[in-house]
Structure formats: structure tokens, C-alpha cells
Structure 1
Amino acid sequence: MAAQGVSRRDRVRQATLAEIRAVARKLLIERGPAAVTINAVAREMGMSGPALYHYFSGHEELVGAVTADFFRELTAVVEAARDSCPPDRRGGRLLAACRALRGWAIMHPAEFGWVFASPITRKRRPDSPRELAGRGFEQVFLDEVAELWKERPFPVPAPGELHPSIQEQLRLYADSSGVGMPVEAVHVFLECWIRLYGLLCMEVLGQLSFAYSDLEPVFEDWLRELAPKLGIDYEEPSSSS
């Protein structure tokens, strides 16, 4: 039965929009980012390029929509892994989320590379689907660390120890994200995130293949190092992870 209040025309349009994004993803996986153009997607769908402009205003909007899809998919995977741990196991929840992020990244290298090349920025359209979906993904990790800080503050630099420029930048970030942590705690969170995300990018992009054929133990070593930075105990991955 059709959803009440949704016209057939709207249903057809939504189905076409979903198909366009699916075709764009297929092109990305099979041929790389440069292959994802308005005309290429149109050809795959048996449409003309101009016809596709009835659905997306241009390449940038198409890229934004596909990127938003990837962020939402990744967020759902990370949240499911996090929620597989009970609320009283804060450390386990964060570690599970980190492992889920790596799992999705290595299973979807093209999509991860696409997201990595499309940074979250509030200087562009802060209300665009890409930016909103990106912030939703970011918030999963930020909220978990904020809860850790609330329950048991972890070690942070002493007040005034950070460079004034860093303090001001992090103050603006903390205010905009509503994280509820002092800038020193935000600094620790971002240090951990930079290391974690940097390692993933190097793995997925093959930048460490000259030395490693299996980076999972390296990733776990980093999680062991991350745990005390955030005041949690390291937990070995479960057999289902």
C-alpha cells in the first residue's frame, strides 16, 4: 500500500534519486572517482545528461548526496557495533565503534576514499545533506568520549599549556559541537582521532603495504595505546568482531 499523502509522482522521483546514487556508487567502485560524472551516470541509466539535471543541479550536488549516503551507512554500522555493548561498558562501546569503522573502511575502500577526499566543513553549506550526515558520524565518537569525560575525566594538558591559537580553535569547535568538555579534553580527543583516522587512511590507501600485509595487529596496538589516554581499559575484540 502506498504511503498516505505521498503521490505516485513523488514515489517515482524518490526511486529515481535512489537509483542515481546507486549507479554513482557502482561507477565509483568499478572505475574510480573520476568516472562519477553527470553524463556517465545518465548513460548507465539510459537517460540524457540534461534529464539528470532535473534531479541534481550538478556534479557537486550529486557528490554531496552520495557522500551523505556513505556517511549514513557508516554511522549505522558504527552505532550498531557500539550498541552491542551495554551502556555501563563505556570503554567497550568506544573500542567496538573504532573496530567497526575499520571494518567498514577495509570492506569499502572506494567509498572510504571518497569520504576521505570530501572533508566535513562548516564553511560551505552547513545544512547540506553531506555536512549533516558527516557531523552525525562525527558525533558518535564525540558523544562517547564526552560521556567518558563526564563519568571519569581522563588526563589532559594543564590549563594554559596548549598554544593560544590551539586553545581558541578548539574553543570554537567545542562551542559549535556542543560537546561539553574543556578544550584540553577536546585536544586529547582530536589527537586520538587524528592517529586513528590517519592509520586507517594509510591502510585503506595502501600506503603501508610495503611493510605490512596484515594491519589488524597494528590497529589493535593503537587501540591499546588509545585506551589509557581516554581513561579506559583495553578489551580484546570478541570473536564476532
Structure 2
Amino acid sequence: MTSARTTTSRRERLRQATLEEIHAAVRRLLVTQGSAAVTINAVAREIGMSGPALYHYYASHDDLVGAVTADFFRELATTMEQARDAHADVPVGDRMLAVCRAMRAWAITHPAEFGWIFASPIAPPNRQRDSARHQAAQRFEQVLLDLTVELWQTRGFPVPDLDSLPESLREQVTAYSTDIEERLPPEAVHVFLACWIKLYGLLCMEVLHQLDFAYSNVEPVFEECLRDLAGMLALDYPGQPSA
């Protein structure tokens, strides 16, 4: 006789398998047809399900988008964490460069997914701060933040005089310092965010083909960016590792 627990477990496994099938369908549509093609009805058709039936799994299109976005964030974070851990025995600066290169490698091999996850702000409104998407985004954010904190605590890096910053900027970096439980002081936050803007900005331009008019190979430009970041953080730049 089948127990209620066995029946529940089987039902949960079937539900999880269906969720995975839904997410795979979203990814196929995104990669092959673009984000506009990812509708509830299109995803349902892709897996042989009716649109109304799919609502048993996700209450809205926004919920579906949030769940798949969380998947992509986790995948990217895992890639960066693996690069960090593979260089566990080297100085923190070398680990940071390895993580940045891993981030670029994922971005240029998954341009549709990269564009999808960064099409909206990483930090959602406060009412969504417990969502799976926000938690996955925080995990991604923590990879470089943790390394920057380690660098700050072990050897430090040049920072501006906080009072020299414009008042609005000073207030914002102070607020972010509070958000991260003051693991970095506001002046170090300013440097961390400046590095992130340079890195992320270049990646976005590359993935969105905004540099195609001049560059057929952006990798040396990216390495120049890493050299600049190393300078901002007072790190040695050992050059691009050999293949």
C-alpha cells in the first residue's frame, strides 16, 4: 500500500521536473528568439501544456521571469565561485582577476542570459527583498564584494578623502556601506563601485555589440580594463594567463 508520504514525495518530484522543463523552455525561447518571445502561452506550447495549466506553477509572467532570472544569477555566481576556489592558494588580487575573467567568459558565451538578468536593477524593491531572484543576485554580488573586503582587511587600497566627494555621492556610498553592514567604509565602497562600473560597463558594451564598430576582439581591451582595476586597487597585474 502506497503511503501518503510516498505519494507526496512523488508529486514533489514530478512538480520539480516540470519546473525544470519550464525553465529550459524559457531559456530556449530566450536564446533562439529573444526576450519578447518568452510569454506564458509560448512557454506552455513549448512543453505541450496549456497556458492556464502553466499558471498552476507560476502565478504570473513576472513570477516566471523572476524564477528564471534567479537560475541565471545562480549559474553565473557558481562560475565565478569556481574560478575563485580554483585559485584559493594565490593572493587575493589574483583571485579577483580570475573571477573577473570568469564573469566575462560566462557573459560572452551566454549573451542572451546576461542581457536578461541585467535588463532590470539587481536590487528589487524592498517588498521583493526575500524573493529567490534577489537572494540569487545577492549571492552573485557577494563574490567580488567578499574579495574586495578581504583585500581591504589584509592590505588595503587607496581611497579618496570622504569629505572631498560631492554630498550626494557621499550620502549614497555611506548608505551602501550601511547596507553591507559596514564591511567596507564609505570611501572604500566608492572605489569598489567605481571598479564594478568599469568592469560591468565594458562587459555590457561587448555583449550588446556596442564595440563592434571598432573591435573584432575585445579581449585585449578587457585586459586593459583589468590592468586599470588593478591600479585602482594597488594590485600587481601579472598579465593575461596563457591558454
What TM-score does the superposition give when structure 1 sets the normalisation length? 0.95
Equivalent of residue 31 in structure 2, options 23, 29, 32: 29
Partner of 1:52: 54
Q: Given residue 60 of structure 1, which amino acid in structure 2 is its aligned partner?
A: D
What's the CA shift for 1:141?
0.5
1:64 is aligned to 2:66? yes
Query: Can you list the C-alpha shifts for 1:55-100, whole angstroms capped at 9, x where unaligned?
Result: 0011101000111000000000001111111255101100000000
- What is the Cα deviation at residue 163 of structure 1? 1.4
Q: Aligned AA for 1:236?
A: G
Report 1:2-21 matches (<5 A). Answer: 7-21=9-23
Distance 1:17 1:216, change over 3 A: same
| 1-structure distance, mates of 2:182, 2:213 | 39
State the distance in 1 between where 2:17 and 2:81 align. Answer: 26
Judged with a 3 Å threshold, the aligned counterparts in structure 2 of structure 1 residues 223 and 4 are, in CA distance, closer, same or farther, namely farther
Residue 100 to residue 150, structure 1, CA distance change in 2 (3 Å)? same
1-structure distance, mates of 2:219, 2:189: 27
Question: Residue type of the partner of 1:166?
Answer: L
Q: CA deviation at 1:4?
A: 8.6
Confirm or deny: 8 A CA contact 1:142 1:179 kept in the other structure.
no
Provide the aligned length of Structure 1 versus Structure 2. 238
> Residue 218 and residue 5 in structure 1: after superposition, are their counterparts in 2 closer, same or farther (change >3 A)?
farther
Structure 1 residue 220: deviation in Å? Answer: 0.2
Residue 239 of structure 1 aligns with an amino acid whose one-letter code is S
Counterpart residue number, 2:164: 161
Residue 213 of structure 1 is matched in structure 2 by: 216
Q: Which residue identity does 2:226 align to in structure 1?
A: L
Match of 2:233 in 1: 230
- The structure, 1 or 2, with the larger RCO (C-alpha pairs under 8 Å, 6+ apart) is 1
The CA deviation at 1:179 is 4.9
Q: In the aligned structure 2, how far is the partner of 1:161 from the partner of 1:112?
A: 36
Q: Is 1:142 aligned to residue 145 of structure 2?
A: yes
Deviation at 1:122, TM superposition (A): 3.9
**Could you tell me which amino acid in structure 2 is paired with residue 98 of structure 1?**
C
1:133 counterpart residue number: 136
Structure 1 residues 127 and 87: alpha-carbon distance in aligned structure 2, compared to 1, 3 A threshold: farther
Separation in structure 2 between the aligned mates of residue 232 and residue 191 of structure 1, nearest angstrom: 15
Counterpart residue identity of residue 141, structure 1: L
Counterpart contact for 1:143–1:179, Cα < 8 Å: no
Q: Is the 8 A contact 2:162 2:170 kept in 1?
A: no
Is this contact kept in 1: 2:70–2:136, CA < 8 A? yes
Alpha-carbon distance between aligned partners in 2 of 1:5 and 1:184, rounded to the nearest angstrom: 56
SS at 1:212 equivalent: coil
Distance 1:40-1:146 versus aligned 2 partners, 3 A rule: same
Deviates more, 1:124-133 or 1:113-122: 113-122
Find the aligned partners of 2:185 and 2:6 in 1 and give their Cα distance: 47
Counterpart in the other structure of 2:97: 95
Q: Residues 173-217 of structure 1, C-alpha deviation per residue, up to 9 Å, x if partnerless? A: 121123511101000110110011000000000001000000000
Match of 1:182 in 2: 185
Matched, 1:114 2:116: yes
Q: Does 1:75 align with 2:83?
A: no
Contact 2:162–2:186, Cα closer than 8 Å, also in 1: no
Give the aligned residue type for 2:36.
A
Tell me which moved more, 27-36 or 111-120.
111-120
